[in-house]
Amino acid sequence: MNKLIYLSLLGILLSKSFSLYIRDNDKCVPTYENSKLTLSSDCDEGYYLVSDGKAITSSTLNTCQDGKSCNLYFCQTKESKSIECQEAKSTNGYILFELKKNLVLKCSDGICNVLSYMGYFINGGYDKQVNTVIMCNIMNKECEYYLNEKIQNDCAYSKVGGVVRIEDKLYFCSSTNNKDSVEISADSKENYKKINIDVGSYDPFADQVLTNSRTYLVKVGNKAMVIVPEGTTEYEEHINKASGSDQNSSTKIFTTFSILINSILTLIVSFYLLF
């Protein structure tokens, strides 16, 4: 009797262990065969990658990093409720990578590589009209959409880390003052800027309220603003050369111009009084 109970308990334990094993492996597994990409039952709609006749998985991400590119596929649910995948050759810009939520893809005509930066990116995916901005924070190990409904028209109504739309341009708010904002929608050559987040403000990159102010070096252009990691060669090379925020730079130019005009007027008045 005791032996029977023991065997029954052992059977239940093995059954549960097997079920747990199945659940642990019940993850998205893309496969590529006969020029066709297919997904396992628990995969979601979204973008996936293929390289050299093989689907990219979590263990082969390095295939599409460090300057190496992969082919982009978009997978969506059809009327049959099955997910079908097609090559997305016309996709350009930054998109969320469905397989790894903490990564973003940079694509040109459907040829993409995997990025792992903290920052803000203009969405170039199928849903770009609904979700304009992608926000990545590797501290939280995730990338997500910055919802359009959260986009304000002034940093005063937003928060540090918020996105505002000013004259059809999108800016990152490093404070509640527009002059400290940095444009993230500029489709221009990349350049470097410094942003300062004041003490007591919420730091979206450190995911905490700061007890000391913090300065970040950011690379801006090509419709993105990314954080340059401290301690890297890139950081050391540009931190002392970088300018301030976009609006702040404009303010400084205007201030310098105003001082120059005032100086000229003072000279004219002085000259007039002499004669």
pLDDT by residue (tens digit) across 60-73? 988 998 878 999 99
Dist. CA 173–CA 184, nearest whole Å: 10
Tokens standing for residue 207: 């995911």
- What is the average pLDDT score of the chain? 81
Three-state secondary structure call for residue 46:
strand
Residue 263: predicted pLDDT = 59
What is the per-residue pLDDT across 145-181, written as a single tens digit (0 to 9) for each? 999 999 999 999 998 999 999 999 999 999 999 999 9
Least reliable range by pLDDT among 1-5, 44-48, 75-79, 147-151: 1-5
Least reliable range by pLDDT among 121-130, 210-219, 253-262: 253-262
Residue 157: predicted pLDDT = 93
Which runs of consecutive H residues, i.e. helices, occur in 131-205?
A: none
**CA-based nearest residue to 115, from 107, 104, 124, 102:** 104
Sequence letter at residue 233:
T
Sequence letter at residue 96:
L
Tokens standing for residue 115: 């990025």
Residue 273: predicted pLDDT = 55
Polymer length in residues for the chain: 275
Residue 47: predicted pLDDT = 94
Which pTM was predicted?
0.76
Q: Is 12 a residue whose pLDDT tops 80?
A: no
Residue 266: predicted pLDDT = 63
Q: Is 267 a residue whose pLDDT tops 70?
A: no
Residue 112: predicted pLDDT = 96
Residue 245: predicted pLDDT = 61
Least reliable range by pLDDT among 1-5, 101-105, 111-115, 265-269: 1-5
